[in-house]
Structure 1
């Protein structure tokens, strides 16, 4: 465990803008609570106390949410990542795709489980979704964790992936698809996942929004054994994982049913 910890890459903070805003809101509520308490301490003392208590509770709630998100980025998501990969049961020889790989958090963990296989990560490197999101950071983390020879980084959009049909044994994705702004485009990304999977290939998508939508879309696209696992509270907001398999008799090209 100590050796693994020493070789862990730097995977930043998830949703850094949300965390920052929550901390700022907490500081604002605390300041307002103090101000209202002193304004009303001489007259209508009870009113000042009540208003101050409301602001204090608000401060505690939003600060707890911010701290929960930080804990989730630094501790909880590592445990949830292993659960995600356990669900696709890698044997070591697979070609794995991580859709929206970011700094390589799931990508490198998948590569660790491979022997002669290969892990490919695709992303558009949106820094709003993860602090320090950059392909150079991804490559640096792969080197840090000693898996660079089994990792490939590709610049591309999940809705139009530059891969051949039936190219991958396993496709995974974590906290990515919800960032696509509308249902039609999200379905297109899920269709791409099915397209690039080999017949019989497995997928696992982790997210905290639109999970039932994903499940229904995968079934419309012909996936089998589709199920939703969770919710799991090791991450905040709590997440679910949609798993399934591409049928052996699936057509080579799948179009989304919109």
Structure 2
């Protein structure tokens, strides 16, 4: 991660939070209950919105972002622990969390499919995965525009992909999409997902033989 991006992240995001992102986060995270894992917690925009969690463990690989998030822990009404870890290799046992959260993070993770597999692995069988992500538009013109802009966007926004088909990745990773809310002309999606079955990994291994 570049040195300048973490410094500009909060000033760039705050206008978006005020015009709607904050409300989207608030409504989504009311559903985060029990032991909660947040992937890529960044500077901690979500922390104050957790109301029903027993505890939140947040993972963030970027040291500068993690350090900035400590300020937000003081505003939280539930216990929050932030640790350094990658979403693609979570340091937790299987079935550890009641809720797994990711907001505006799968666009940046180098291997989002692996991150989703890890979310599924650490989520309890009856748990929930809550996501707020931007996605590639189905519209031919605007989808192609996102494809064209992505190399430049990745460079200035520290690896963020404008054209990730996150919904398709979710469905391919042994998760069942239970709810979708579309925002801002369908470029942002709120997604609630659950685990389809415990034998998904076994079936995947058989299919790949």
**TM-score normalised by the chain length of structure 1:** 0.57
Match of residue 213 from structure 1? 165
Q: Which residue of 2 aligns with 1:222?
A: 174
**Tell me, what secondary structure is at the counterpart of 1:134?**
helix
1:136 corresponds in structure 2 to 67
- Native 8 Å contact 1:190 1:214 kept in 2: no
What is the deviation of 1:103? 1.7
The offset of 1:253, in angstroms, is 6.2
Give the Cα–Cα distance (whole angstroms) in 2 for the partners of residues 80 and 196 of structure 1: 25
Q: Which has the higher strand share?
A: 2
Question: Whose helix fraction is larger, Structure 1's or Structure 2's?
Answer: 1
Inter-partner Cα distance in structure 2 for 1:109 and 1:12 = 23
Aligned match of 1:189: 115
In the TM superposition, what whole-angstrom CA distance separates every residue of 1:26-72 from its partner, at most 9, and x where no partner exists? Answer: xxxxxxxxxxxxxxxxxxxxxxxxxxxxxxxxxxxxxxxxxxx6521
CA distance in 1, matches of 2:70, 2:10: 21
Question: What's 2:52 paired with?
Answer: 113
Counterpart pick for 1:155 among 77, 80, 84: 84
Number of aligned residues: 175
What's the counterpart of residue 178 of structure 1? 107
Equivalence for 1:123: 60
Which structure: larger Rg? 1
Q: Secondary structure at the match of 1:179?
A: coil
Shift of 1:118: 0.7
Query: What's the CA shift for 1:74?
Result: 3.8
Gaps of 5+ in 2: 1-5, 138-163
Query: Could you state the TM-score of these two structures normalised by the residue count of structure 2?
Result: 0.69
- 1:250 alignment partner in structure 2: 198
Alignment RMSD: 3.3
Structure-1 residue corresponding to 2:38: 98
Alignment deviations for residues 126-168 of structure 1 (CA, whole Å, 9 cap, x no partner): 7xxxxxx53232222212x154x61111101111111111111
How big is each residue's C-alpha offset from its partner over 1:191-236, in whole Å with a ceiling of 9 and x where there is no partner? 1111110001101111112588332233233222444321247xxx
Question: d(CA) in 2 for partners of 1:252 and 1:96?
Answer: 23
Cα distance 1:146–1:158, how it changes in 2: closer, same or farther (>3 A)? Answer: closer
Give the whole-Å Cα distance in 1 for the aligned partners of 2:116 and 2:73: 26
Q: Deviations over 1:58-94 (max 9, x none)?
A: xxxxxxxxxxx652134422111112224xx24x5x0
Q: Note the residue ranges of structure 1 that are not aligned, 5 or more in a row.
A: 1-10, 20-68, 127-132
SS in 2 for 1:160: coil
In structure 1, the residue corresponding to 2:165 is in which secondary structure? helix
